A and B are shown apart, each in its own frame.
Chain A
Amino acid sequence: MRVLIVDDSSVMRKIVARSLQQAGLTITQVLEAGNGSEALAVVQREKVDLILCDINMPVMDGLEFVKQLSGVESACGIPVVMITTEGSEGHVVQALSAGARGYIRKPFTPEQVREQVLPVLARNP
């Protein structure tokens, strides 16, 4: 599985990648982007099976990225799971309305990553 991790923190991108592996997912390649704009460029040139995306980022935030992703023909079916400190109910509703399929609050455990990501992947075989 090819995973794109979008976060302005390189440390957090590494932690998310490690958590996915600890959750038992078979990751063949981890692609990284530092904001939504970079992530849009990645999905237009690479095959991606799953996206984990922060919300608060410079240049283009995660909610805007999810909205714009639906307009990219080659990428609009890729499941997106938000992974963010903005953990209020309002933010969850906003993210899911924008097109995200799951939501993980920071701080998180690998088990929480697993609980959110596996059902999303099951719905997108």
Chain B
Amino acid sequence: MKAIHPKLAAREACESWMPLLELAAREVFALMLGGNLAVASEPVADEWLDVAAVVGLAGQVSGTLVLRCTSESAAEMAARMLKVDSRHTGPEVRDAVGEICNMIAGNFKNKIHGMGDGCMLSVPTVIPGRDYSLHAIADSTKIEVRLLFEELPLIVSIEIHN
């Protein structure tokens, strides 16, 4: 029998989670924002995305779940959550994006058998701007889904330490 390299096995497991990650994001947007997400048919230009929310995962699975979007998209998310005009959102924008990321992370882990109890979430951290980079100290595997919210791009990714 041919042995499967642990890194390859982790990659396969991660890739099988991609539809669940997309579903988790879709459900959060539908229930909390009353909005639908569409799959981006063209590559999303990463340099446009100037807001990132990060939630840490620890336990049976450790890593990070990251939601990246534009400032415009973040303001629209906050406006939908608060039911106000996006021009009237202020400091709540970061709070709203962090909370959406948190709900996607929770919803995602509850869809994976055994992960709900075996994996804890951190409180979210929100990073404004583009001038940053995230480095995982441990060897890791990353999956991401590229979506559109109100025709604005957003990326939901999960990076799991192998």
Name A residues whose Cβ lies closer than 8 Å to a Cβ of B: 8-12, 14-15, 18, 56-58, 84-91, 105-109
Name B residues whose Cβ lies closer than 8 Å to a Cβ of A: 27-28, 31-32, 78, 81-83, 92, 95-96, 98-99, 102-103, 105-107, 109-110, 116-117, 120-123
Roughly how many angstroms separate A58 CA and B82 CA in the complex, as a whole number? 23
Do the beta carbons of B103 and A85 come within 8 Å of each other?
yes
A58: chain B residues at CB < 8 Å are: 123
Do the beta carbons of A106 and B123 come within 8 Å of each other?
no
Query: In the complex, what residue of chain A is closest to B29 when comparing beta carbons?
Result: A107
Do the beta carbons of A56 and B121 come within 8 Å of each other?
yes
A108: chain B residues at CB < 8 Å are: 31
Roughly how many angstroms separate A9 CA and B32 CA in the complex, as a whole number? 14
Do the beta carbons of B102 and A18 come within 8 Å of each other?
no
Query: In the complex, what residue of chain A is closest to B109 when comparing beta carbons?
Result: A88
Do the beta carbons of A89 and B95 come within 8 Å of each other?
no
Roughly how many angstroms separate A108 CA and B123 CA in the complex, as a whole number? 19
Min CB gap A57→B, angstroms: 7
Roughly how many angstroms separate A58 CA and B122 CA in the complex, as a whole number? 9
**Which 4 pairs between the two chains have the least Cβ-Cβ distance?**
A85-B106, A88-B116, A90-B117, A107-B31
Query: In the complex, what residue of chain B is closest to A14 when comparing beta carbons?
Result: B82
Q: Given A10-B95, A57-B123, A107-B107, are A85 and B83 also a contact pair (CB < 8 Å)?
A: no
Do the beta carbons of B116 and A11 come within 8 Å of each other?
no
Query: In the complex, what residue of chain A is closest to B93 when comparing beta carbons?
Result: A11
Q: Given A15-B81, A105-B110, A107-B27, are A85 and B123 also a contact pair (CB < 8 Å)?
A: no
Min CB gap A30→B, angstroms: 15
Do the beta carbons of A11 and B27 come within 8 Å of each other?
no
6 contacts between A and B (CB under 8 A): A11-B92, A14-B82, A15-B32, A57-B123, A90-B117, A106-B32
Identify which of B98, B99, B106, B123 contacts A87 (C-beta below 8 A). B106
Roughly how many angstroms separate A36 CA and B95 CA in the complex, as a whole number? 18
Do the beta carbons of B95 and A9 come within 8 Å of each other?
yes
Do the beta carbons of A91 and B116 come within 8 Å of each other?
yes
A88: chain B residues at CB < 8 Å are: 109-110, 116-117
Query: In the complex, what residue of chain A is closest to B110 when comparing beta carbons?
Result: A87
Query: In the complex, what residue of chain A is closest to B105 when comparing beta carbons?
Result: A85
Roughly how many angstroms separate A57 CA and B32 CA in the complex, as a whole number? 20
